[in-house]
Amino acid sequence: MRKRIAVLASGSGSNLQAILEAIDSGEILDAEVVLVLSDRKEAYALERARLRNIQTKYLRVKDYAAREEFDRHAVCVLEEARTDLVVLAGYMRLITPLFLAAFEQRVLNIHPSLLPAFPGGHGVADALAYGVKVSGCTVHFVDEGMDTGPILLQEAVPVYDDDTAETLHERIRKLEHKLYPKAINLWVQGKIKLRGRRCVIDE
């Protein structure tokens, strides 16, 4: 059975695009993106989905009194779409325990730093300001913390003296576009085993 993936995105959706292209090329096998959900109406990720006739959903943050209520509705939408795997791709909201309970070990995130260094919403700028010589990206399972879940894959890029947050983020994004499809395919193929915090890949 093809795995049904929902992508949650708040921004441009270049990672969503990379995932869609990896499905087209067969790099991700036996999976399809069935829904793209966003908390930002103007997120270009939604437009990318519309262009491919993929179902989209925008949930307006202001319509919900609490984060749990927002997530309760999001879970309903995801369940209606019969989602197997939730992929956060530039989704700038913390997921609540209620959401995680509905999709246990089925929520992945990509973060633009080598975790556990520089979690949060400004990972690239924080790494640059700290003065690191190497940064990168991390695909991890989502848990209740901020970018603290078990790490699935990580890769590094160099940081150059003349880098700005933009140039460094661009280098990291290129890597993300390869690493995220690879991680998603491993999950879809059932090749990831969790031993405590450690993800073991069963090749």
Instruction: Kindly list the residues in this chain that would bind ligand GAR in the complex (CB under 6 A).
Output: 9, 11-15, 89-90, 110-112, 121, 123, 173, 176
Q: What is the rounded CA–CA span in Å between residue 21 and residue 118?
A: 29
Closest separation in Å from C-beta 121 to ligand GAR: 6
User: Judged by CB, which is closer to ligand GAR: 46, or 78?
Assistant: 46
CB of 1 to ligand GAR, least distance (A): 27
Query: Are 48 and 16 a contacting pair, CB within 8 Å?
Result: yes
Q: In degrees, to the nearest 5, what angle opens at C-alpha 43 toward C-alphas 88 and 50?
A: 90
Is 111 a catalytic site residue? yes
* Pick 123 or 149: Cβ nearer ligand GAR: 123
- Which residue sits closest to ligand GAR, CB atoms considered? 90
Neighbouring C-beta atoms of residue 56, cutoff 10 Å = 16
CB of 162 to ligand GAR, least distance (A): 20
Q: What is the CA radius of gyration of the chain?
A: 16
Catalytic residue among 111, 140, 169, 177: 111
Closest CA to 178 of 52, 10, 31, 28: 28
Residues known to be catalytic: 111
